[in-house]
Amino acid sequence: DTEVTQTPKHLVMGMTNKKSLKCEQHMGHRAMYWYKQKAKKPPELMFVYSYEKLSINESVPSRFSPECPNSSLLNLHLHALQPEDSALYLCASSQEGGQYYGYTFGSGTRLTVV
Partner 1 sequence: DAKTTQPNSMESNEEEPVHLPCNHSTISGTDYIHWYRQLPSQGPEYVIHGLTSNVNNRMASLAIAEDRKSSTLILHRATLRDAAVYYCILRDRETSGSRLTFGEGTQLTVNP
**Residues in touch with partner 1 (CB under 8 A):** 4, 29-31, 33, 42-45, 48, 50, 55-56, 90, 92, 94-97, 100-108
The C-alpha atoms of residue 95 and residue 101 are separated, in whole angstroms, by 8
Minimum Å distance from CB 78 to partner 1?
A: 19
Minimum Å distance from CB 19 to partner 1?
A: 20
Minimum Å distance from CB 16 to partner 1?
A: 29
Between 17 and 71, CB nearer to partner 1: 71
Contacts of residue 98, defined as CB under 8 A and 6 or more positions apart, other chains included, come to: none
Task: Count CB neighbours of 80 within 10 A.
Answer: 14
The C-alpha atoms of residue 105 and residue 107 are separated, in whole angstroms, by 7
Between 40 and 84, CB nearer to partner 1: 40
